[in-house]
Structure 1
Amino acid sequence: MNIKNNVKGLIKKLPGISNLVQKNEILENQLNEVKHQCVLNGRKAIEYRLKFKTLNNEKINVIFVCHRPAVWESLHSVYDVLNQDEDFNVSIVAIPNKKELPDLGLNHEEYESEGAEEFWKEYGCINGYDYEKREWFDLKKLNPDYVFFQQPYNITRCEEYKSWNVAQYAKICYVPYAYDFIGNGVLEETTPKDFMCDISFYFTQNNIDDHMVRDILKKYLIDDVKTVVTGFPRYDNLEQYKESFAKGWDFAEEGNYRVMWTPRWCTNEGNCNFFQYKDNIVKYALKHKDVSLLFRPHPQAFLNWNRTGEFPKKEADAYQKIYAEADNMSIDAEKSYFNTIFNSDCLISDTSSFIADYFTTGKPIIYCHKVDTFNELSKKMSEGFYWVHNWEELKKVLDDLKNGKDVLKERRLQLLQELFGRKQNAGETIKEIIKQDVRG
């Protein structure tokens, strides 16, 4: 049980509070029932509209609501195949995300861009938010039939863009923004009920993933969401990255051993190793000039650690300054990362879906273990990881790999073939499913 649930439990035990909490939960459930009924009524209207469009050979309008460039690859191939098909009109609406503020969390209406407007500018995106007027673009003006959100978190979006409002005039489709890598309750966090009950399609990555998602839906008593095994769109076009240029490695000397480090961004789950290794990893790189270290923090990492008080801004700035001043170290600020990982030599990480992306390169992974949070898929994959529990073990593995000793290479490549060897085109499959849905 996490801290949040513990606090809720304590509050409920306070005198007189339990009745108020119970009444509030009843009101929330009633409100959610009303919202969902509006969604169901909206779906019926959408079905009639799609039938009418089919009879009149009208194009289908698909909207991608995007806020985070770093996870665009999860939808990129879906966008491409739909945009190239004459049966569809496709648009991107770029929006900011709620900024987590000290003392307020996400309980406010302050929004901050993650570079979405600039990143999707080349796609001819519509800017969804006017920062001066503090006004939102009305999605309904685009007459959408299907809407893809990058992430399932209603709490980070304004009221007009929350799933229960959008689902009343468009079918919501969802592709997970990350490989479903983590078990032990984390899947529930990445599939929140208030979003899942409003979507029409959830596109799963494989049979195991599909089974896990169906179990979540069953737990939530949701029986009107279609899950379809399509593969993961992020892995549709991996070949293009193998010989690609990686701007993130501009600082690296030719011939250096290229190490990426991607620690988990939150500590409340008990599996983040950033604070355990942050100083030793820096010292190692400064001492070994034949190593190039690229630190890629999660977009929310420093914001979160500042909010929790674990890494105040002044300390974080000083830490980042070390990277800026070193000639063989850098912090990766690129929006996308597949060309970066294919141009690296190894990865240091803890429990993160980023490991699954890196696994597709076939290169060695040093996994920093704290607690077991693997699901059935990642547990199989982890047979190809170098497991370490402290700095001494990490240093030894890193020294071995740097010197060409990679004893897990054969097993890792075998697992790569087993788990990712089958050729897929998830984007094309998703397009065909939408076409079938349009035809009824």
Structure 2
Amino acid sequence: MALALSANPLFEVIVLAMPSRVESSAFYDLNASISTQSFAQKVRTQAILVQDILDSSGLDSSLARAKSLHALTQCLESTLATSPKPLCLIGFDSALNVPITPQDLAAHYCFTTRPYDSLRPEPFSNYSIAQVSKLCYVEYGVYMFSACEQDISAYDPVLLRYYDYLFSPTGFHTWLSSSRQSVPSLLHIITAGSAYFEAILAANLRSPQACANKPLRVLWTPRWAACDMHSTFLRYVDVLLEQAREGRFLLHFRPHPNMYDHLVIESKILSKQRWQDIKESIDRYGKWDMRPSIIESFSDCDVIISDTSSMLIYAFLSGKPTIYTQGDSTAEISAWALRVVQGVFITTTEGELLQVLDDLCSHLLQAFAPKAALRSYILQQNFHFPKQGASSAITQALLQDMTEPNLKERQ
């Protein structure tokens, strides 16, 4: 989306990384810097580190706010004036101070991927940003729990009342988010599709080809909160490692960036040594995958295992054989999600999981064929893919918002 907007001469785009927290008492990087640097590399530009600007100016962001901000804004203005590409900025220093904020940038529009401002530093609150910018929300995940839930945090009207736009990935999510807005606001909810969905499809990850005499590569992507009933990490970590040690398959494990903090630091469910032992075992019998992009992780695996999370939807979209490990939780997911998971294998017990893995390891294409046959129908019935793409739909919404009648109406 950042690329699509920057291609229009009416927009100057800044991608701003910030520290965050999820079920943690402290803010931390949460892979923001790695992801921003990775994106900058892909678009052939360079991520600007606030720390570097401050160091070159001989300033300390925590002690010289006004001076550091002046140096930062001068650098940003110069970069925006000379390059049409998105400006990628890591907006915190090595101590996780936040020397530059959305208010400092004073953008006309500010996009967030999560509405939960309690997870952001205070200057990044919805209320603070809304004073200088129109807030836009592109959903960071795919809500798949029951539509009967009354309190859906992602669509909390108290949080979303500060937003001008919510761009939903499907018609179902537009209906669901609209039905939860009980507080008067300026919020417009638009079914725009998802640029991320499109990117996964465009990567053309389908048609699994098992290499003769080589074990399958099984990617496991459990939820990070092991105390959550929807996480299978503690239930299956030992049995999957045992299967990998026996050579049944190569185990690729993609930990959520918050998993270590939650399991080891906050909840102390695992000791540091136990975590390290798991990591070393997975490295020995597969891959400990820390790459920023899930598309890269999907590209070099043959089978994906997921529990109840957005990753399950992404895995289905990849076209790879996918195993949903929580058949006992299907009553808790929405009718929309239930239709989507008809395209994946559903297991409930350890025995069922191992049986499906055994079938796929023995006859990958034959075992997957019945599920693969449903893919096109599920995509057509449950997803929204605008002809010009989701980014174009969002761009057009902003251009419409910028027209004179709309501006007068909002004044």
TM range (shorter): 0.7 to 0.9
Quick check: 2:92–2:99 contact (8 Å CA) kept in 1? yes
Gaps of 5+ in 1: 1-77, 245-251
Q: Distance in 1 between matches of 2:371 and 2:98?
A: 54
- Deviation (angstroms), 1:96: 1.7
Q: Distance in 2 between matches of 1:203 and 1:397?
A: 37
Q: After the TM superposition, which of the residue ranges 361-370 and 414-423 deviates more from structure 2?
A: 414-423
| 2:80 pairs with 1:140 | no
- The 1:420–1:182 alpha-carbon spacing in structure 2 relative to 1, beyond 3 Å, is same
Q: Distance in 1 between matches of 2:185 and 2:133?
A: 19
Which of the numbers 318, 338, 341 marks the counterpart of 1:379?
Answer: 338
The CA deviation string for residues 289-322 of structure 1, in whole angstroms up to 9 with x for no partner, is: 5x22211121112211222222232211121111
The DSSP-based 3-state class of the residue aligned with 1:309 is coil
Quick check: 2:169–2:383 contact (8 Å CA) kept in 1? no
**Map of 1:242 onto structure 2:** 204
What are the residue-to-residue correspondences of 1:212-291 with 2, within 5 Å? 212-218=176-182, 221-242=183-204, 255-288=214-247, 291=249
**Map of 2:31 onto structure 1:** 114
Q: Distance in 1 between matches of 2:300 and 2:135?
A: 36
Quick check: 1:359–1:416 contact (8 Å CA) kept in 2? no
Q: Which amino acid aligns with 2:186?
A: D
Identity across matched positions, percent:
22
The DSSP-based 3-state class of the residue aligned with 1:330 is strand
| 2:94 pairs with 1:131 | yes
Q: Distance in 1 between matches of 2:339 and 2:270?
A: 34
- The 1:389–1:100 alpha-carbon spacing in structure 2 relative to 1, beyond 3 Å, is closer
Q: Distance in 1 between matches of 2:246 and 2:133?
A: 56
The DSSP-based 3-state class of the residue aligned with 2:103 is helix
Q: Distance in 1 between matches of 2:97 and 2:138?
A: 29
The CA deviation string for residues 52-90 of structure 1, in whole angstroms up to 9 with x for no partner, is: xxxxxxxxxxxxxxxxxxxxxxxxxx2111100011111
- The 1:129–1:330 alpha-carbon spacing in structure 2 relative to 1, beyond 3 Å, is same
Q: Distance in 2 between matches of 1:235 and 1:318?
A: 35
**Map of 2:154 onto structure 1:** 190
Which of the numbers 320, 339, 348 marks the counterpart of 2:305?
Answer: 348
- The 1:270–1:254 alpha-carbon spacing in structure 2 relative to 1, beyond 3 Å, is same
Q: Which amino acid aligns with 1:145?
A: H
Q: Distance in 1 between matches of 2:212 and 2:204?
A: 19
Length-normalised TM-score, structure 1 = 0.72
Q: Which amino acid aligns with 1:382?
A: V
Q: Distance in 1 between matches of 2:361 and 2:196?
A: 29
The CA deviation string for residues 136-169 of structure 1, in whole angstroms up to 9 with x for no partner, is: 2143343310001122221121221111011011
The DSSP-based 3-state class of the residue aligned with 2:332 is coil
Q: Which amino acid aligns with 2:257?
A: P
- Deviation (angstroms), 1:205: 1.4
Q: Distance in 2 between matches of 1:304 and 1:170?
A: 33
Residue correspondences, number: 345
The DSSP-based 3-state class of the residue aligned with 2:373 is helix
- Deviation (angstroms), 1:187: 7.0
Q: Distance in 1 between matches of 2:186 and 2:22?
A: 33
The DSSP-based 3-state class of the residue aligned with 2:257 is coil
Length-normalised TM-score, structure 2 = 0.77
